Amino acid sequence: MNKRHNLIIGLIICLTIISLGLFGANPNLINLGFENGNFNGWTGYTRVYSTDVPTYNTPWIQVLLPNSRRQVIMTDTTAYDPTVGNLLKIIPKGYKYSARLGDVIRSADVTQGNNMGFRCWQQKLQYKLAVDSTNSLLIMKFACVLQYASDHSTLVEPRFKLTLYDSSGNEINTCTNYDVYSSSNSVKGFQTYNSTNSLYSIAPQIQWRDWTTVGADLSAYKGQTITLEFMSTDCTGRFHFGYAYFVADYQPMKISTDFCGSSDTAKLTAPTGFESYRWRDVNTHKIVNTDTTLSTLAVPMIGKDSVIYHCIMRSATGCIDSLSTTILKYKPVASFTAKMVGSCTADSVQFSNLATTNRGKLTYLWDYGDGTTDTISSKVHLHHYNTSGHHKVTLTVYNPPSTCSIDTVKDVESIDVDLVGLKADQDSICIGSSTGKLRANGAWTYEWSTNPGTFNLDSIKSGLSAGTYWVKGYDSTHNCTSNKHYTTISEESEWMDSIQGHNWFCSGDSTKLYASGWYVNMNKQTGIAKTPLTYQWSNGALTDTINTNKAGTYTVIATDKWGCSRTSSYNVKEKVLPLINFTVSPNTINSKRNLVSCSINQEPSVLYNWTFGDNTGVSTGNSVIHYYSQNLPSALYTIALKDSDTVYGCTNSGTTSILLEPFVPNVFTPNGDEHNDYFMPNYEMDVYDRYGILLYSGTKESNGWDGSYKGQRLEPDTYFYIIHYTDYNNQKQTIKGYITLIR
C-alpha cells in the first residue's frame, strides 16, 4: 500500500542509496547503485510546476545526465551537507557514490523574483529493472528534507516520493512506496535544524531524515521489468525547496545458510536492509533472538539433523516480509586412492574418487600438484604428468546446496625413468669446504653414490666436498629403475683479496682505500681480476672503495657468488701538519722604518714560503727579512706563511697583519738634487704660510709639495700642513703639523 505523510517540515532531505554487488553483479542491473560514478542506466526528467500567480508550467522533459544542479553524482565520501549544519553525510557508510536529486534555493534564484524558470522545480530519476531470482529483493536507503512553509497548503509544499511501477506503468501497491510533503512535522524519523542562512530567514526551520533503509519484495514480479522512480520537488508556490541523495542494491529474497556437519552451530543470514528482524524456531514456536537489528543468527545444532527457522523482517517504512528456511546437516567426506599405470615411462596415475555424503549431490575440484586442476566427476579417471616423482594431490569436495566443503591431501607418485635427473645447487664450492648440495628429482626413492645399496625418500644430499657423484631413481615397488645420473662438484680456483691506496693522510684530509680480488698461481697474484665480489668493511661500508679520515686498521671481507670469502687488513696513519706558530717584528712600520723580521722554528723536511701582501713575490726559509716600499700607501698588510712537509706533502698555513702608517718628515730640501725635493707625495694635503695663505693643495695622485707658490720658489721658513687619508679600517684620518723648508 502507499503511505502519504503530511509533514510540516523545515527542510526534508531525502537520501536514497542503491548499492550493487553484495551477491555478485547482475548483467541486467548495470550501475543500479551508481558504482561506475555516473548515471549510466538511469533516465532523468525535469519540469517547472507552479500554482502561484503568475503560473508557469512546463511538461516533463527528459534531460541529459548529469543535469546541472538537479541531478548530480556525489563523490566525496567524507563530506557532510551544510544545509542541515553538517549533520548529514552526503554519501552513506560503505558506498563510494550517491546521486543528488534537486537543490537548495540560492541567492541567484531569489534575485530573479517571479521568473518561474528559477523556482518551482520538480525532478525525477528512473531505472528499469528486470526481476529474477537474484534480485527479487530491492534494497533502498534514503533520507528526506523539505523547507518549512506554514503559509502553504499541503499539496503546494515541497515533496519527496519513492515509487515502483509494473511493466504496464501502473503503480505497484507496496508499502515500500514513500510519499511525503512538508505540511506535518510529526512523521517518525525526522529531525529539526534551525538554519542561520539569511536566504531562509522567512522559513529557517529545516526538517531532515537521516539515511533510512527499506527493502521491496519483488518476488511476485519475476520475469517482468519494473520501474524504480525517485522524485523531489520544490514547493509550487515560491521559494521553498527539497532535494535528495540516493543509490540502491539488490539481493535474492532468501535466507542463506552456512552450516556443515562437523560444526556445532549453523549461521543463518536474512537479506539486509530491514529495520528489524524476528527469528522463530518453527519446531518450538519460540522467538530465539534478542537483538532485533541483526540480520544474522547463530543456531545451535548439537544433536540435531534438521531444523526449520522463520524470519519476520520489518522495513523503516513499516513494510513486513517473512522467509523460512530448513537447516539440514550435510556430512561430506573426501577420499581417494591413486596408483601408477602403464610402463616405466608412461608417467600416468589412475585416481579413484571415494567421496561420500549423507545428502545432496557432490561436486569436485582436483588439484594434481603439477599446476593443473580438474572438476571431473567420474569415479575413476587417469591423469598424465609431465614431471616424474612426488606430487601433492588435493581433492576438494563441495556439497550444495549447503556451503559445506572438505578436502584431503595425499602424496602421489608417478614415474617416467627418462625424467629422473640430478643437478647441483652451485657449480663450485669454496676450497677445502663441504658445502656442496645436490638435488635429485623424478623418482619415489633414490640410491646415492655416497651410500650405495641404500634406498630412501631423500632427494637432497648436502654437506658434500668436491668430487663426482651419481644417483639412481626408483618407483615405490622398485619395478622401475633409472640409469645412473652423474654430476661433478668443483672447487673454485685459488684467489686472494687486497687493499690498495695511501696508508696515511694529512690531518684534516682523508685517504681512499680500494678493495679488489685476484686469482693466484703458485702463491703469486696472476693479475687476473676476480669478479663479481661483494665487500664488507670493518667500518660498515659495502662498496669496493671507501674514504676515511680516521687512523686505524681497516679490514675488508670479500665474498664471491659461491659464498667463499677472503679477508685483508690495512693500517692507516694520520700525519700531523707542520707547525705554523711564526713571529713577526715589528707589527707597525712606516715608509722610513720599513723593515719586518719573520721567523719560525725549523722542522725537519719542511719548506717555508712567505708572502707579504705587497705583490713582491715569495720568500723562502724559516727566517726572513722584508722591506716594504716607501711609496706604499698606509694600510694593513697580510703576511702569510705556507709550510710543506716534503715527505708526505702535508701543508699548513697561517697569516698575521702589520700596519704601515704614514711617515711625515719635519724638514725637506727642495733644491733640485732629487733628494727630498717633494713633501708628502700621493697624499691629500694642504700647506699654509704663517699668514694663513693656502700655498699648496694636493691629492693622492699628486707628486707632493715642491716648496713653491704660483711657480715661485719660497724662502726657507716653517709652514703649516693638514694631511687627510683613509686608514686600514676605511676610516678618515687627519694629521696636522709644521714642516721646515731648507735650501
Express each pLDDT in 64-112 by its tens digit.
999 878 899 999 999 999 999 999 999 988 899 999 998 887 776 665 5
Choices 2.120.10.30, 3.40.50.10860, 1.20.1440.120, 2.60.40.10: CATH for 583-661: 2.60.40.10
The mean-pLDDT minimum among 18-32, 186-200, 396-410, 480-494 falls in: 18-32
CATH number of 495-575: 2.60.40.10
For residue 137, which phi and psi values (nearest 5 degrees)?
A: -115, 115
The rounded distance, in Å, linking the Cα atoms of 403 and 139 is 24
Query: Burial letters for 681-720: b for 16+ Cβ neighbours within 10 Å, e otherwise?
Result: bbbbbbbeeeeeeebbebeeebebbebeeeeeebeeeebe
Topology match between the domains 256-328 and 420-491? yes
What is each CA distance from 552 to 539, 555, 571, 648, in whole angstroms? 11, 10, 6, 18
At residue 220's C-alpha, the angle toward residues 214 and 226, to 5°, is 70
Strand blocks (E) in 342-466:
348-353, 363-367, 373-374, 380-384, 389-398, 405-414, 421-424, 428-429, 436-441, 445-448, 460-464
Nearest to 664 by CA among 630, 701, 713, 710: 630
What pLDDT, on a 0 to 100 scale, did the predictor assign at position 297? 78
According to DSSP, residue 87 is labeled -
The rounded distance, in Å, linking the Cα atoms of 516 and 498 is 6
Does residue 3 register a pLDDT over 80?
Answer: no
CATH number of 667-741: 2.60.40
Model confidence band, residue 43 (pLDDT cutoffs 50, 70, 90): very high
Q: Is pLDDT larger for residue 646 or for residue 157? A: 646
Element (H, E) at 107: helix 107-111
Domain boundaries, the chain: 3-251, 256-328, 336-414, 420-491, 495-575, 583-661, 667-741
Residues whose CB is less than 8 angstroms from the CB of residue 669 and which lie 6 or more positions away in sequence, other chains included: 675, 676, 677, 741, 742, 743
What is each CA distance from 375 to 21, 347, 351, 367, 385, in whole angstroms? 27, 21, 13, 9, 17
Cell numbers linked to 497 = 683479496
What is each CA distance from 277 to 132, 269, 312, 325, in whole angstroms? 24, 11, 6, 15
The rounded distance, in Å, linking the Cα atoms of 585 and 739 is 30
The rounded distance, in Å, linking the Cα atoms of 234 and 105 is 9
Provide the CATH topology of domain 256-328: Immunoglobulin-like (2.60.40)
Does residue 17 register a pLDDT over 50?
Answer: no
The rounded distance, in Å, linking the Cα atoms of 533 and 526 is 17
**β-sheet with 389-398: strand ranges across:** 373-374, 363-367, 389-398, 405-414
Q: Is pLDDT larger for residue 468 or for residue 149? A: 468
What pLDDT, on a 0 to 100 scale, did the predictor assign at position 183? 64
The rounded distance, in Å, linking the Cα atoms of 282 and 309 is 6
Cis previous bond, 586, omega within 30: yes
Choices 3.90.820, 2.50.20, 3.50.50, 2.60.40: CATH for 420-491: 2.60.40
* Average pLDDT score over the chain: 87
What is each CA distance from 284 to 266, 296, 448, in whole angstroms? 17, 20, 70
Class of domain 3-251: mainly beta
Class of domain 336-414: mainly beta
DSSP SS3 for 468: strand
- Dihedral angle sign, alpha carbons of residues 620, 625, 630, 632: positive
What pLDDT, on a 0 to 100 scale, did the predictor assign at position 25? 42
Model confidence band, residue 5 (pLDDT cutoffs 50, 70, 90): very low
What pLDDT, on a 0 to 100 scale, did the predictor assign at position 118? 56
